[in-house]
Structure 1
Amino acid sequence: MDINLIKRKLLKYWIGVYYYNNELILCLKRSCRKSSNLLLLLLSPYILMKAGLYAIYEGVWGKYAIARKITKERASAYRHEIAMVSISKNEAPYIKEWIEFHKLVGFTKFYFYDNESEDNTVDILKPYIDSGLVEYTLIKGKGRQLDAYNDAIAKHKDECRWMAFLDMDEYLMPTKPFEKIYNVVSELVSKAGKGAAGIGVNWCIYGSAHLEKKPKGLIMENFIYRSKSGSETHWGNFHIKTICNPRLVKKYISPHYPIYKLGGYSINDSDGKRLWGWFCHDVKWQNLRINHYYCKSKEQYIQKISRGFGDRVGEYDMKQFNDYDLNDVKDESMLVYADKMKNK
C-alpha cells in the first residue's frame, strides 16, 4: 500500500480526534501550558472514546438531522441575509471604511462589541447606530472576543440567515467585484454535503507596502501588496475565518471557527470539502477571500501592540510584524471599491 496514502488517512483520523475534543484540548493548552501534554496523555482514553462516539452519531443521525433543518430554513425569511459580528478596541480610524466596504458586498447588520475603547469609536458609530445598521454593545475586560461572539449568536441567531465573524483588519472580498456575499455562501453551501452549515474563508495577508508611517487615505488604496497564492502561499494564509448558520452553532471556541451542533460543519470555498478546524491548506481564493491587513504601516502596527489580543490575555510583538509583513505580489483588486468608498 502507498505509504503516503496511509499517512494521509492517519492524519485525517487524528484531525478528527482533535476536532471532536478541541474545546477540551484548547482549554488545557491555554490554562495548563506546562502540564498540558501529560494531562492529555492521561485523558487519551476519554478523548479517543468521545471522538469515536461523536463520529458514529454524525454518520448515523447527526448530518441528516442538520440537513433537514437546513432544508426547512431555505424557505424561511430573515430580517438580514447576512450580518457581521466584530469586537474592537481603539480602532476608530478604521471603522467607517470597514463598515462601508462590507455594506457594498451585502451586509445589512453589524453587531459591534466595543471592548472599552478610549478613542472616538462611539462618535464614529453614532450615525450607524441611529440608523439601525449597527447594534452597539459595550463589553468590559480583557480577552472577551469569544464571549462577544457567543453573545451575538445567543441574542441574534434568528435575525439573520448567515453570520460572519471578522476583526477590523479583515475585509471579506468576493472574487467577482460587488457580488453579494450571502449569494455566494448560499450557493456554495447548497451544493455541498448534507451537514454543510458554513464556510471557512482563507486569509490573504497584506503587508506594510514598506511604509513606516501611517499614510493618508483608504487602507484598500495604500496597502496593495500581498503574500503569494497557490502552493507558494505563506503558512499564515492557511488560517480561516467563518461565515456560519448561527442556529446550527453550539459555541465559538476560537476566533477562527465555531463548534457546530453534531452533524454540522464548515466547508472550504473552492470545492466544498469539509474543514476540521481553524485551517484550510487548499488556498485558492476561488470565490471568497479575507484580505487581512495585519500589519499596515510600522507605526500603525505599534499602535496595534498596545491593544493586545482579543480572545485571551497577551500582546502582539514585532516578531509577528516581521513574519506577516508580506509584500510579494502587487494586487489592486480592492481599488474597484475605492471610488465608491470616497463618496461615503
Structure 2
Amino acid sequence: MGKIERLWKNHLCPIIQNLFFNTVGLLNVRLFGTVDNRNLKYEISLCLIFKDEGRFLKEWLDYHLTVGVDHFYLYDNNSTDNYRDVVQPYIDKGIVTLIDWPYQQSQVKCYKHCLETFCNETKWIGYIDADEFVCPKSAPTFKHWLIRYAKFPAVMIDWLQFGTNGLINHDYSKNVMEQYFSCWEDFWMGKTFVNTRYRISNWHTQYFHHHSYVYYRIFGIKMPMPAVNQFGFISPMNHEWGGGKHRVEHSTIQINHYYTKAWNVYKEKMQRPDVYFAKNAKDIQKLLTREMKCTNKNYTILRFLQKMRYDKGEITL
C-alpha cells in the first residue's frame, strides 16, 4: 500500500465519512427517523455466545436484569462445565432462550442467526460477552438511558477496560464487580446495540460487533451507516468523535470489560479454545500490556450492587 493510499484510507476517508454522517446523516435521522412502536415481547435483549462460563453467568444475568435488560439469547459453544444448572432457573422463568451452537469459530454466524431469528421478539439486541457489563452512570436503568437514541438504528457503547487488580486468584464467593476496579484512563473500542428493524451491513468484518454498520436510508438512498456513539456522533470505526479530552468523565454510560480478571482465570482462558479465533488470542504479553494501562480506578458499577442483591433476595427489609 502506497503512501497516498494509506493517507486516504487512514485519514482522509474517515474524515469525509465523519463529516457526511454527522451532517447529512444526523439531519436525516432527526427529521425522518421514527421511534420503534412495534408491540414485541421484549424491549432490550442480550446475545451471548459462551464456552465454559458457568461460574460467571449468574452474576452476569442478575446484573443485567437489574439494569433493565428483558431477555437473553444464550448460545452454548460446546461447554463442559455446569452452565446448565446455572441457567435453568432463568429458562424456567422465560428470561433465557438457550441455543445449542456446536460450530467452531462461528461467533459471527451466531450473532447473525440471533438477529434474523429473534428480530420479531425484541426491539434491541446487544452483542456482548460474559466479561462485559453495561453500566449506566446516571440513568436508573439501561432502558432509561437508551430512550434518547430511540430513532437511531444502532448505538455503540464504549469499553472501559479493567485489569487483574493484582490478584493471583479470583474469589468465587464474591461478585466480579466487587473485586476489580483498577482500569484504563480512557475508553477503547466498545460494543453495539442494534435496533432489530435494521440489518447489519458489515458482518464480513472482524469488528462488526464493536462498531456495527447498519443499512439505513438517507434521503431515500440505502447505504451502510455507522452506529451513533453516546456523545451523539456517527463515526466510523476507530474514529470516535465527542467527549473531549476527558471522555470517561463526560460519558453517561460505559461497558465494564473484565477481560483478564485474576491471573488464575486468565491462565485458564489462555489454555482453552476460543469462540472466534482458531488460535487463542490471549497470552501473557497481552495481559502485561493491558496491566500497564491500568492507571485509574472506577467504582461506578457498585451503585447497582445493593439493588442486585435486593432483587435476588440476598438482602431483605
Q: In the comparison of the two structures, how many residue pairs are matched? A: 284
The one of 145, 148, 153 equivalent to 1:184 is: 145
The one of 27, 44, 47 equivalent to 1:85 is: 47
Measure, in 1, the Cα distance between the counterparts of 2:138 and 2:98: 31
Greater helix content:
1
Shift of 1:13: 3.8
Shift of 1:81: 1.1
Question: Mapping of 1:252-267 within 5 angstroms?
Answer: 252=203, 253=205, 254=207, 255-261=209-215, 262=223, 264-267=225-228
The one of 338, 341, 344 equivalent to 2:305 is: 338
> Relative to structure 1, is the Cα distance of residues 266 and 298 closer, same or farther in structure 2, using a 3 angstrom cutoff?
same
In structure 1, the residue matched to 2:178 is 221
Measure, in 2, the Cα distance between the counterparts of 1:273 and 1:281: 6
Measure, in 2, the Cα distance between the counterparts of 1:331 and 1:257: 24
Shift of 1:10: 7.7
Measure, in 2, the Cα distance between the counterparts of 1:327 and 1:238: 13
Measure, in 2, the Cα distance between the counterparts of 1:337 and 1:247: 31
Cα pair 2:14 2:239 within 8 Å, conserved: no
Measure, in 1, the Cα distance between the counterparts of 2:62 and 2:266: 23
Measure, in 1, the Cα distance between the counterparts of 2:290 and 2:194: 27
Q: Secondary structure at the match of 2:212?
A: strand
The one of 33, 52, 60 equivalent to 1:98 is: 60
In structure 2, the residue matched to 1:211 is 167
> Relative to structure 1, is the Cα distance of residues 142 and 171 closer, same or farther in structure 2, using a 3 angstrom cutoff?
same
**TM-score, scaled relative to structure 1:** 0.74
Measure, in 1, the Cα distance between the counterparts of 2:31 and 2:224: 8
**TM-score, scaled relative to structure 2:** 0.80
Question: Mapping of 1:295-314 within 5 angstroms?
Answer: 295-314=260-279
Cα pair 1:206 1:292 within 8 Å, conserved: yes
Cα pair 1:64 1:263 within 8 Å, conserved: no
- 1:317 and 2:317 correspond: no
Shift of 1:80: 1.1
Shift of 1:188: 3.3
Measure, in 2, the Cα distance between the counterparts of 1:267 and 1:8: 25
RMSD, matched Cα = 3.0
Cα pair 2:167 2:262 within 8 Å, conserved: yes
Cα pair 1:85 1:112 within 8 Å, conserved: yes
Measure, in 1, the Cα distance between the counterparts of 2:29 and 2:169: 53
Shift of 1:304: 1.4
Q: Deviations over 1:46-91 (max 9, x none)?
A: xxxxxxxxx99xx79xx959975x41x5333222111101110001
- Matched AA of 1:186: I
Measure, in 1, the Cα distance between the counterparts of 2:29 and 2:297: 46
Measure, in 2, the Cα distance between the counterparts of 1:201 and 1:334: 15
Shift of 1:238: 2.4
Q: Deviations over 1:288-326 (max 9, x none)?
A: 100000110011101111334332312111111112224
Shift of 1:282: 4.8
Deviates more, 1:245-254 or 1:210-219: 245-254
Cα pair 1:164 1:244 within 8 Å, conserved: yes
- Matched AA of 1:323: T
> Relative to structure 1, is the Cα distance of residues 66 and 296 closer, same or farther in structure 2, using a 3 angstrom cutoff?
same
Measure, in 1, the Cα distance between the counterparts of 2:38 and 2:60: 29
In structure 1, the residue matched to 2:220 is none
Q: Secondary structure at the match of 1:238?
A: coil
Measure, in 2, the Cα distance between the counterparts of 1:65 and 1:333: 32
Q: Secondary structure at the match of 1:250?
A: coil
Cα pair 2:131 2:258 within 8 Å, conserved: yes
Cα pair 1:240 1:279 within 8 Å, conserved: no
Measure, in 1, the Cα distance between the counterparts of 2:188 and 2:303: 26
In structure 2, the residue matched to 1:126 is 88
Q: Which ranges of structure 1 fall in alignment gaps of 5 or more residues?
A: 1-6, 20-54, 191-195
Q: Which runs of 4+ in 1 moved over 6 A?
A: 7-10
Percent identity (aligned): 22
Q: Deviations over 1:232-266 (max 9, x none)?
A: x3xxx321200111221235343313331125431
> Relative to structure 1, is the Cα distance of residues 9 and 155 closer, same or farther in structure 2, using a 3 angstrom cutoff?
same
> Relative to structure 1, is the Cα distance of residues 162 and 323 closer, same or farther in structure 2, using a 3 angstrom cutoff?
same
- Matched AA of 1:311: Y
> Relative to structure 1, is the Cα distance of residues 185 and 340 closer, same or farther in structure 2, using a 3 angstrom cutoff?
closer
Measure, in 1, the Cα distance between the counterparts of 2:31 and 2:89: 40
- Matched AA of 1:317: D
